Amino acid sequence: MRPRILMAGLGETGTELARKLLLNWDVIGVDPDPVAISGHEVGGEHHEALKLHSGDATSALVLRKAGLEGVHAAVACTGSDEVNMEVLRMARELFGIHNLYTLMYSLEWEERYAENGIEVVSQDHACAAILESRIARGQKVASDIGLGIGEIMEVEVLPSSSIIGRTLMDLQPRRWLVAAIYRDNRLVVPHGETKVLEKDRVLLVGDPDILPSVATLIRTGESEFPLQYGSHVVSIFEPGLDRVLEETAYLIDTTRAERFETIACEIDAGNLEALRKRCEGMKIPCEISCKAGGNVRSLLHEVGRSDVGVFVLPPEKIGTLAMMGLGRTRAAGIMDLVHSPVLMSRKTFPYRKVLLVMAELPFPSSAAQLAIDLVRMVDAGLDVAVVHQPDLVVGKEMSEDLEKRWQEVRNLAGMYHVDVTERRLDGNPIRQVMGISGEYDLVVVPYRKRKRTFLTRPDISLNILHGAPCSVMAMPV
Protein backbone atom coordinates (compact mmCIF):
# COMPACT_ATOMS: atom_id res chain seq x y z
CA MET A 1 0.00 0.00 0.00
CA ARG A 2 1.36 3.37 -1.02
CA PRO A 3 1.67 6.17 1.57
CA ARG A 4 -0.88 9.00 1.40
CA ILE A 5 -0.15 12.73 1.61
CA LEU A 6 -2.32 15.82 1.95
CA MET A 7 -1.49 18.62 -0.50
CA ALA A 8 -3.08 21.94 0.50
CA GLY A 9 -2.84 24.52 -2.28
CA LEU A 10 -2.69 23.56 -5.95
CA GLY A 11 -1.19 26.61 -7.51
CA GLU A 12 1.81 26.27 -9.83
CA THR A 13 4.17 25.09 -7.09
CA GLY A 14 1.65 22.73 -5.49
CA THR A 15 0.65 21.27 -8.84
CA GLU A 16 4.24 20.57 -9.86
CA LEU A 17 5.00 19.04 -6.47
CA ALA A 18 1.88 16.83 -6.66
CA ARG A 19 2.93 15.65 -10.12
CA LYS A 20 6.32 14.55 -8.74
CA LEU A 21 4.88 12.95 -5.60
CA LEU A 22 2.42 10.82 -7.59
CA LEU A 23 5.28 8.55 -8.61
CA ASN A 24 5.43 7.17 -5.06
CA TRP A 25 2.48 8.63 -3.11
CA ASP A 26 -1.30 8.75 -3.19
CA VAL A 27 -2.08 12.48 -3.15
CA ILE A 28 -5.15 14.17 -1.62
CA GLY A 29 -5.29 17.67 -3.11
CA VAL A 30 -7.35 20.48 -1.56
CA ASP A 31 -7.77 23.94 -3.13
CA PRO A 32 -10.51 26.57 -2.70
CA ASP A 33 -10.60 27.35 -6.43
CA PRO A 34 -12.56 24.72 -8.36
CA VAL A 35 -11.45 26.27 -11.64
CA ALA A 36 -7.82 25.80 -10.66
CA ILE A 37 -8.47 22.16 -9.80
CA SER A 38 -10.35 21.38 -12.99
CA GLY A 39 -7.76 23.21 -15.07
CA HIS A 40 -4.79 21.13 -13.89
CA GLU A 41 -4.15 17.76 -15.41
CA VAL A 42 -1.98 16.70 -12.51
CA GLY A 43 -2.51 12.99 -12.48
CA GLY A 44 -1.65 11.87 -15.98
CA GLU A 45 -1.05 8.13 -15.96
CA HIS A 46 -1.28 8.22 -12.15
CA HIS A 47 -4.76 9.79 -12.11
CA GLU A 48 -6.12 7.01 -9.86
CA ALA A 49 -3.63 7.98 -7.16
CA LEU A 50 -4.88 11.60 -7.11
CA LYS A 51 -8.02 12.70 -5.26
CA LEU A 52 -8.99 16.38 -5.66
CA HIS A 53 -11.29 18.30 -3.29
CA SER A 54 -12.63 21.83 -3.67
CA GLY A 55 -12.75 23.86 -0.48
CA ASP A 56 -10.94 25.81 2.20
CA ALA A 57 -8.20 23.62 3.73
CA THR A 58 -8.47 25.52 7.02
CA SER A 59 -11.98 24.10 7.45
CA ALA A 60 -12.22 20.98 9.61
CA LEU A 61 -15.32 19.91 7.66
CA VAL A 62 -13.48 20.13 4.31
CA LEU A 63 -10.55 18.12 5.67
CA ARG A 64 -12.86 15.43 7.09
CA LYS A 65 -14.65 15.15 3.74
CA ALA A 66 -11.25 14.73 2.06
CA GLY A 67 -10.70 11.59 4.16
CA LEU A 68 -7.45 12.10 6.00
CA GLU A 69 -7.55 9.00 8.16
CA GLY A 70 -4.23 7.15 7.83
CA VAL A 71 -2.54 10.00 5.95
CA HIS A 72 1.25 9.88 6.51
CA ALA A 73 2.19 13.51 5.80
CA ALA A 74 0.84 16.95 4.94
CA VAL A 75 2.33 19.78 2.90
CA ALA A 76 0.94 23.32 2.57
CA CYS A 77 1.66 25.55 -0.44
CA THR A 78 -1.32 27.90 -0.28
CA GLY A 79 0.59 31.15 -0.85
CA SER A 80 0.00 32.41 2.69
CA ASP A 81 2.11 31.55 5.74
CA GLU A 82 -0.86 32.19 8.01
CA VAL A 83 -3.05 29.75 6.07
CA ASN A 84 -0.23 27.20 5.82
CA MET A 85 0.25 27.30 9.59
CA GLU A 86 -3.45 26.77 10.30
CA VAL A 87 -3.80 23.90 7.80
CA LEU A 88 -0.85 22.03 9.29
CA ARG A 89 -1.95 22.72 12.87
CA MET A 90 -5.33 21.14 12.14
CA ALA A 91 -3.72 18.23 10.30
CA ARG A 92 -1.70 17.45 13.42
CA GLU A 93 -4.34 18.08 16.08
CA LEU A 94 -7.40 16.62 14.33
CA PHE A 95 -5.87 13.79 12.31
CA GLY A 96 -2.62 12.95 14.11
CA ILE A 97 -0.40 13.79 11.12
CA HIS A 98 3.10 14.59 12.40
CA ASN A 99 5.13 14.78 9.19
CA LEU A 100 4.41 18.40 8.28
CA TYR A 101 6.00 20.49 5.51
CA THR A 102 5.44 23.93 4.05
CA LEU A 103 6.76 26.46 1.60
CA MET A 104 7.64 29.50 3.71
CA TYR A 105 7.10 32.89 2.10
CA SER A 106 8.29 35.22 4.85
CA LEU A 107 11.35 34.67 7.04
CA GLU A 108 9.39 36.17 9.93
CA TRP A 109 7.49 32.88 10.20
CA GLU A 110 10.59 30.68 10.52
CA GLU A 111 10.59 30.57 14.33
CA ARG A 112 6.86 29.84 14.57
CA TYR A 113 7.09 26.98 12.11
CA ALA A 114 10.02 25.53 14.06
CA GLU A 115 8.11 25.76 17.35
CA ASN A 116 5.31 23.70 15.80
CA GLY A 117 7.62 21.03 14.39
CA ILE A 118 6.99 22.01 10.78
CA GLU A 119 9.80 21.56 8.26
CA VAL A 120 10.11 24.48 5.88
CA VAL A 121 11.54 25.29 2.50
CA SER A 122 12.21 29.02 2.39
CA GLN A 123 11.19 30.59 -0.89
CA ASP A 124 13.84 33.30 -0.34
CA HIS A 125 16.64 30.84 0.47
CA ALA A 126 15.72 28.49 -2.36
CA CYS A 127 15.61 31.27 -4.95
CA ALA A 128 18.88 32.72 -3.67
CA ALA A 129 20.58 29.32 -3.91
CA ILE A 130 19.32 28.82 -7.47
CA LEU A 131 20.52 32.27 -8.49
CA GLU A 132 23.89 31.63 -6.83
CA SER A 133 24.22 28.45 -8.83
CA ARG A 134 23.55 30.37 -12.04
CA ILE A 135 25.98 33.16 -11.14
CA ALA A 136 28.73 30.77 -9.97
CA ARG A 137 28.49 28.84 -13.19
CA GLY A 138 29.33 25.17 -12.82
CA GLN A 139 28.49 25.09 -9.11
CA LYS A 140 25.27 23.99 -7.46
CA VAL A 141 24.47 24.55 -3.80
CA ALA A 142 22.01 22.34 -1.92
CA SER A 143 19.37 24.72 -0.57
CA ASP A 144 17.32 22.25 1.43
CA ILE A 145 19.50 19.22 2.07
CA GLY A 146 21.38 18.64 5.32
CA LEU A 147 21.71 21.92 7.18
CA GLY A 148 20.80 23.87 4.06
CA ILE A 149 23.64 26.37 4.60
CA GLY A 150 25.93 25.36 1.78
CA GLU A 151 27.68 22.34 3.25
CA ILE A 152 26.71 20.29 0.17
CA MET A 153 27.82 21.44 -3.28
CA GLU A 154 28.11 19.97 -6.75
CA VAL A 155 30.73 21.20 -9.21
CA GLU A 156 31.62 20.29 -12.77
CA VAL A 157 35.30 19.76 -13.54
CA LEU A 158 36.38 22.07 -16.35
CA PRO A 159 38.58 20.72 -19.18
CA SER A 160 41.29 23.21 -18.15
CA SER A 161 41.35 22.08 -14.50
CA SER A 162 44.75 20.90 -13.31
CA ILE A 163 42.99 18.51 -10.91
CA ILE A 164 42.15 16.20 -13.82
CA GLY A 165 43.92 12.88 -13.44
CA ARG A 166 44.66 13.37 -9.74
CA THR A 167 43.42 10.87 -7.17
CA LEU A 168 41.27 11.94 -4.24
CA MET A 169 44.07 10.79 -1.93
CA ASP A 170 46.40 13.30 -3.64
CA LEU A 171 44.01 16.13 -2.78
CA GLN A 172 44.53 15.57 0.96
CA PRO A 173 40.95 16.49 2.00
CA ARG A 174 40.51 18.08 5.44
CA ARG A 175 37.10 19.19 6.75
CA TRP A 176 35.54 18.10 3.45
CA LEU A 177 35.16 14.98 1.32
CA VAL A 178 33.97 13.84 -2.07
CA ALA A 179 30.70 12.02 -1.46
CA ALA A 180 30.00 11.00 -5.06
CA ILE A 181 31.10 11.49 -8.64
CA TYR A 182 28.66 11.50 -11.56
CA ARG A 183 30.38 10.44 -14.78
CA ASP A 184 28.78 9.64 -18.14
CA ASN A 185 25.31 9.37 -16.61
CA ARG A 186 26.40 6.91 -13.93
CA LEU A 187 27.27 7.14 -10.26
CA VAL A 188 30.87 6.49 -9.20
CA VAL A 189 31.26 5.73 -5.48
CA PRO A 190 34.65 7.33 -4.76
CA HIS A 191 37.62 6.05 -2.75
CA GLY A 192 41.17 7.26 -2.24
CA GLU A 193 42.43 5.93 -5.59
CA THR A 194 39.53 7.36 -7.62
CA LYS A 195 40.79 9.85 -10.21
CA VAL A 196 39.00 13.07 -11.11
CA LEU A 197 38.23 13.30 -14.83
CA GLU A 198 37.14 16.06 -17.18
CA LYS A 199 33.41 16.85 -17.05
CA ASP A 200 32.93 14.88 -13.83
CA ARG A 201 30.19 16.27 -11.62
CA VAL A 202 31.65 16.05 -8.13
CA LEU A 203 29.42 16.10 -5.04
CA LEU A 204 31.25 17.75 -2.12
CA VAL A 205 30.31 17.66 1.56
CA GLY A 206 32.11 19.74 4.16
CA ASP A 207 32.46 22.85 6.29
CA PRO A 208 30.45 25.62 4.57
CA ASP A 209 33.16 28.14 5.51
CA ILE A 210 35.70 26.50 3.21
CA LEU A 211 33.58 24.50 0.77
CA PRO A 212 33.22 27.27 -1.89
CA SER A 213 37.01 27.51 -2.09
CA VAL A 214 37.37 23.74 -2.26
CA ALA A 215 34.76 23.77 -5.05
CA THR A 216 36.91 26.26 -6.94
CA LEU A 217 39.94 24.03 -6.42
CA ILE A 218 38.10 20.99 -7.83
CA ARG A 219 36.41 22.86 -10.68
CA THR A 220 39.35 24.90 -11.98
CA GLY A 221 42.42 23.55 -10.17
CA GLU A 222 43.29 27.02 -8.88
CA SER A 223 45.32 27.01 -5.67
CA GLU A 224 43.36 27.65 -2.49
CA PHE A 225 46.21 26.99 -0.05
CA PRO A 226 45.84 26.16 2.83
CA LEU A 227 42.10 25.48 2.72
CA GLN A 228 42.57 21.87 1.69
CA TYR A 229 43.85 21.43 5.26
CA GLY A 230 41.99 24.19 7.12
CA SER A 231 41.55 27.97 7.29
CA HIS A 232 43.49 28.95 10.45
CA VAL A 233 47.17 29.50 11.18
CA VAL A 234 47.49 27.78 14.57
CA SER A 235 50.09 27.72 17.34
CA ILE A 236 50.41 26.84 21.00
CA PHE A 237 50.88 29.76 23.39
CA GLU A 238 54.49 29.47 24.55
CA PRO A 239 57.64 31.54 25.00
CA GLY A 240 58.82 32.84 21.65
CA LEU A 241 55.34 32.98 20.14
CA ASP A 242 55.83 36.68 19.37
CA ARG A 243 58.50 35.67 16.85
CA VAL A 244 55.98 33.93 14.60
CA LEU A 245 53.40 36.71 14.36
CA GLU A 246 54.98 38.58 11.46
CA GLU A 247 55.15 35.49 9.25
CA THR A 248 51.66 34.55 10.39
CA ALA A 249 50.41 37.95 9.23
CA TYR A 250 52.14 37.36 5.88
CA LEU A 251 50.38 34.01 5.41
CA ILE A 252 47.00 35.50 6.24
CA ASP A 253 47.61 38.39 3.82
CA THR A 254 48.89 36.32 0.89
CA THR A 255 47.09 32.95 1.14
CA ARG A 256 43.54 31.84 1.85
CA ALA A 257 44.26 31.46 5.58
CA GLU A 258 41.65 33.49 7.43
CA ARG A 259 42.85 33.99 11.01
CA PHE A 260 45.39 33.16 13.70
CA GLU A 261 44.41 30.81 16.51
CA THR A 262 46.52 30.11 19.57
CA ILE A 263 45.77 27.30 22.01
CA ALA A 264 46.60 28.38 25.57
CA CYS A 265 46.88 26.38 28.80
CA GLU A 266 46.53 28.04 32.20
CA ILE A 267 48.38 31.16 31.02
CA ASP A 268 48.36 34.44 32.91
CA ALA A 269 45.49 36.59 31.70
CA GLY A 270 47.84 39.56 31.33
CA ASN A 271 50.03 37.66 28.84
CA LEU A 272 47.02 36.65 26.80
CA GLU A 273 45.76 40.22 26.73
CA ALA A 274 49.18 41.42 25.61
CA LEU A 275 49.09 38.88 22.75
CA ARG A 276 45.61 39.97 21.78
CA LYS A 277 46.66 43.64 21.68
CA ARG A 278 49.74 42.82 19.62
CA CYS A 279 47.58 40.95 17.11
CA GLU A 280 45.21 43.91 16.94
CA GLY A 281 48.15 46.27 16.37
CA MET A 282 49.39 44.07 13.50
CA LYS A 283 45.81 43.70 12.15
CA ILE A 284 45.90 39.93 12.56
CA PRO A 285 42.45 38.36 13.07
CA CYS A 286 43.09 36.44 16.28
CA GLU A 287 41.29 33.76 18.26
CA ILE A 288 42.57 32.55 21.64
CA SER A 289 41.33 29.19 22.88
CA CYS A 290 42.01 28.58 26.58
CA LYS A 291 42.07 24.90 27.51
CA ALA A 292 42.92 22.96 30.64
CA GLY A 293 45.72 20.42 30.72
CA GLY A 294 49.42 20.92 31.13
CA ASN A 295 51.25 19.05 28.39
CA VAL A 296 51.77 19.21 24.65
CA ARG A 297 49.67 16.13 23.96
CA SER A 298 46.63 17.53 25.79
CA LEU A 299 46.93 20.82 23.92
CA LEU A 300 47.41 19.05 20.62
CA HIS A 301 44.24 17.10 21.33
CA GLU A 302 42.51 20.48 21.23
CA VAL A 303 44.48 21.43 18.12
CA GLY A 304 43.18 18.29 16.44
CA ARG A 305 39.67 19.61 16.97
CA SER A 306 40.63 23.04 15.65
CA ASP A 307 40.58 24.37 12.11
CA VAL A 308 44.28 23.94 11.24
CA GLY A 309 45.53 25.07 7.84
CA VAL A 310 49.14 25.61 8.94
CA PHE A 311 50.66 24.90 12.35
CA VAL A 312 53.40 27.44 13.12
CA LEU A 313 56.33 27.10 15.54
CA PRO A 314 59.12 29.42 16.71
CA PRO A 315 62.71 28.28 15.90
CA GLU A 316 64.11 25.41 17.96
CA LYS A 317 67.62 23.95 17.94
CA ILE A 318 68.05 20.20 17.69
CA GLY A 319 69.73 18.70 20.74
CA THR A 320 72.53 16.13 20.84
CA LEU A 321 70.27 13.36 22.14
CA ALA A 322 67.76 13.96 19.35
CA MET A 323 70.56 13.86 16.78
CA MET A 324 71.64 10.49 18.19
CA GLY A 325 68.11 9.12 18.08
CA LEU A 326 67.87 9.01 21.87
CA GLY A 327 65.28 11.73 22.20
CA ARG A 328 62.67 13.77 20.32
CA THR A 329 62.59 17.47 19.68
CA ARG A 330 59.47 19.34 20.66
CA ALA A 331 58.73 20.02 17.00
CA ALA A 332 59.00 16.31 16.17
CA GLY A 333 56.57 15.46 18.96
CA ILE A 334 54.11 17.97 17.54
CA MET A 335 54.50 16.80 13.94
CA ASP A 336 53.87 13.22 15.05
CA LEU A 337 50.39 14.31 16.18
CA VAL A 338 49.15 16.75 13.52
CA HIS A 339 48.05 16.26 9.91
CA SER A 340 48.59 19.76 8.50
CA PRO A 341 51.76 21.48 7.26
CA VAL A 342 54.04 22.66 10.07
CA LEU A 343 56.03 25.90 9.63
CA MET A 344 59.13 26.68 11.65
CA SER A 345 59.16 30.45 11.25
CA ARG A 346 62.43 32.35 10.83
CA LYS A 347 60.79 35.40 9.24
CA THR A 348 62.40 34.95 5.81
CA PHE A 349 59.39 36.25 3.93
CA PRO A 350 58.00 37.23 1.48
CA TYR A 351 58.49 33.88 -0.23
CA ARG A 352 60.10 34.56 -3.58
CA LYS A 353 62.29 31.47 -3.88
CA VAL A 354 61.11 28.10 -2.51
CA LEU A 355 63.17 24.90 -2.33
CA LEU A 356 61.56 21.44 -2.23
CA VAL A 357 63.93 18.78 -0.88
CA MET A 358 64.02 15.24 -2.31
CA ALA A 359 66.63 13.23 -0.46
CA GLU A 360 64.93 10.04 0.74
CA LEU A 361 62.54 7.38 -0.50
CA PRO A 362 59.69 6.82 -0.49
CA PHE A 363 59.03 10.46 -1.38
CA PRO A 364 55.40 11.41 -0.65
CA SER A 365 53.50 13.25 -3.37
CA SER A 366 51.79 15.34 -0.65
CA ALA A 367 55.04 17.23 -0.01
CA ALA A 368 55.36 18.11 -3.70
CA GLN A 369 51.70 19.10 -3.81
CA LEU A 370 52.20 21.36 -0.80
CA ALA A 371 55.16 23.14 -2.41
CA ILE A 372 53.36 23.56 -5.74
CA ASP A 373 50.14 24.86 -4.15
CA LEU A 374 52.08 27.35 -2.05
CA VAL A 375 54.21 28.81 -4.86
CA ARG A 376 51.12 29.19 -7.03
CA MET A 377 49.39 31.10 -4.26
CA VAL A 378 52.26 33.48 -3.43
CA ASP A 379 53.71 33.67 -6.97
CA ALA A 380 57.13 32.29 -6.01
CA GLY A 381 59.75 30.36 -7.95
CA LEU A 382 60.28 26.67 -7.18
CA ASP A 383 63.54 24.70 -7.22
CA VAL A 384 63.80 21.02 -6.37
CA ALA A 385 66.93 19.76 -4.60
CA VAL A 386 67.48 16.18 -5.78
CA VAL A 387 70.14 14.79 -3.47
CA HIS A 388 72.06 11.75 -4.68
CA GLN A 389 74.05 9.92 -2.04
CA PRO A 390 76.95 7.59 -2.93
CA ASP A 391 75.85 4.19 -4.27
CA LEU A 392 77.94 2.54 -1.58
CA VAL A 393 75.72 4.20 1.03
CA VAL A 394 72.24 3.83 -0.44
CA GLY A 395 72.68 1.54 -3.45
CA LYS A 396 72.35 2.23 -7.15
CA GLU A 397 68.63 1.39 -7.26
CA MET A 398 67.76 4.18 -4.85
CA SER A 399 69.48 6.75 -7.04
CA GLU A 400 67.51 5.50 -10.04
CA ASP A 401 64.24 5.55 -8.09
CA LEU A 402 64.98 9.07 -6.85
CA GLU A 403 65.42 10.17 -10.43
CA LYS A 404 62.03 8.69 -11.32
CA ARG A 405 60.38 10.52 -8.41
CA TRP A 406 61.93 13.78 -9.62
CA GLN A 407 60.39 13.24 -13.05
CA GLU A 408 57.01 12.64 -11.39
CA VAL A 409 57.33 15.89 -9.45
CA ARG A 410 58.22 17.74 -12.64
CA ASN A 411 55.20 16.26 -14.40
CA LEU A 412 52.99 17.24 -11.47
CA ALA A 413 54.28 20.80 -11.58
CA GLY A 414 53.66 20.86 -15.34
CA MET A 415 50.01 19.99 -14.76
CA TYR A 416 49.73 23.19 -12.73
CA HIS A 417 51.83 25.22 -15.19
CA VAL A 418 54.55 25.71 -12.57
CA ASP A 419 58.13 25.94 -13.80
CA VAL A 420 60.60 23.98 -11.68
CA THR A 421 64.39 23.84 -11.75
CA GLU A 422 66.45 20.89 -10.57
CA ARG A 423 69.27 21.50 -8.12
CA ARG A 424 71.25 18.27 -8.31
CA LEU A 425 73.31 17.70 -5.19
CA ASP A 426 75.74 14.89 -4.41
CA GLY A 427 76.94 13.73 -1.02
CA ASN A 428 75.68 14.16 2.53
CA PRO A 429 72.07 15.39 2.12
CA ILE A 430 71.94 17.42 5.34
CA ARG A 431 75.21 19.21 4.62
CA GLN A 432 74.37 19.76 0.95
CA VAL A 433 70.89 21.18 1.56
CA MET A 434 72.04 23.34 4.45
CA GLY A 435 74.76 24.72 2.18
CA ILE A 436 72.27 26.15 -0.32
CA SER A 437 69.25 26.84 1.93
CA GLY A 438 70.47 30.38 2.63
CA GLU A 439 69.62 31.23 -0.98
CA TYR A 440 65.93 30.58 -0.34
CA ASP A 441 63.06 32.15 1.59
CA LEU A 442 61.39 28.83 2.36
CA VAL A 443 62.40 25.17 2.31
CA VAL A 444 59.69 22.50 2.02
CA VAL A 445 60.42 18.98 3.29
CA PRO A 446 58.38 15.84 3.95
CA TYR A 447 58.44 14.53 7.51
CA ARG A 448 57.84 10.87 8.19
CA LYS A 449 56.09 10.49 11.52
CA ARG A 450 57.75 8.52 14.33
CA LYS A 451 60.69 7.57 12.18
CA ARG A 452 63.49 5.75 13.99
CA THR A 453 66.80 7.63 13.77
CA PHE A 454 70.38 6.84 14.75
CA LEU A 455 73.61 8.79 14.92
CA THR A 456 74.74 7.00 11.77
CA ARG A 457 71.34 7.45 10.12
CA PRO A 458 69.94 10.85 11.09
CA ASP A 459 66.52 12.19 10.15
CA ILE A 460 67.34 14.41 7.17
CA SER A 461 64.11 16.43 7.21
CA LEU A 462 64.23 17.00 10.97
CA ASN A 463 67.81 18.26 10.83
CA ILE A 464 66.93 20.65 8.00
CA LEU A 465 63.84 21.85 9.88
CA HIS A 466 65.91 22.74 12.94
CA GLY A 467 69.10 23.88 11.25
CA ALA A 468 68.23 25.81 8.08
CA PRO A 469 68.75 29.59 8.19
CA CYS A 470 65.39 30.22 6.50
CA SER A 471 61.81 29.25 7.30
CA VAL A 472 61.02 25.57 6.78
CA MET A 473 57.60 24.03 6.12
CA ALA A 474 57.28 20.30 6.80
CA MET A 475 54.50 18.05 5.52
CA PRO A 476 53.86 15.27 8.09
CA VAL A 477 53.06 11.92 6.45
pLDDT of residue 175: 73
| Average pLDDT per 10 consecutive residues for the chain, totaling 477 residues | 88 85 88 65 63 91 90 92 94 92 90 89 68 57 59 84 81 81 92 91 84 79 81 84 92 92 75 85 85 58 72 86 67 86 96 95 87 93 90 66 88 83 92 96 94 74 94 95
pLDDT of residue 388: 86
pLDDT of residue 262: 87
What average pLDDT is seen over the chain?
A: 84
Burial class (CB in 10 A: 0-12, 13-18, 19+), 24: exposed
Spatial CB neighbours of 339, under 8 Å, sequence gap ≥ 6: 174, 229, 308, 476
Listing DSSP states for 89-109 in one string gives HHHHHHH---EEEEEE--GGG
Pairing label, strands 342-344, 308-313: parallel
pLDDT of residue 434: 95
Listing DSSP states for 338-403 in one string gives --S-EEE-----S--EEEEEE-SSSPPHHHHHHHHHHHHHHT-EEEEEEEEPPHHHH-HHHHHHHH
pLDDT of residue 375: 95
Alpha carbon 397 to chain centroid distance? 39
Alpha carbon 203 to chain centroid distance? 12
pLDDT of residue 303: 62
What's the predicted TM-score (pTM) here?
Answer: 0.64
pLDDT of residue 438: 96
pLDDT of residue 7: 93
Nearest-angstrom CA–CA distance, 198 and 412: 17
Cβ neighbour number for residue 436 with a 10 Å cutoff: 15
pLDDT in tens, 131-144: 555 555 556 666 55
pLDDT of residue 39: 47
H or E element, residue 436: helix 429-437
pLDDT of residue 296: 59
pLDDT of residue 387: 92
Alpha carbon 50 to chain centroid distance? 44
pLDDT of residue 47: 64
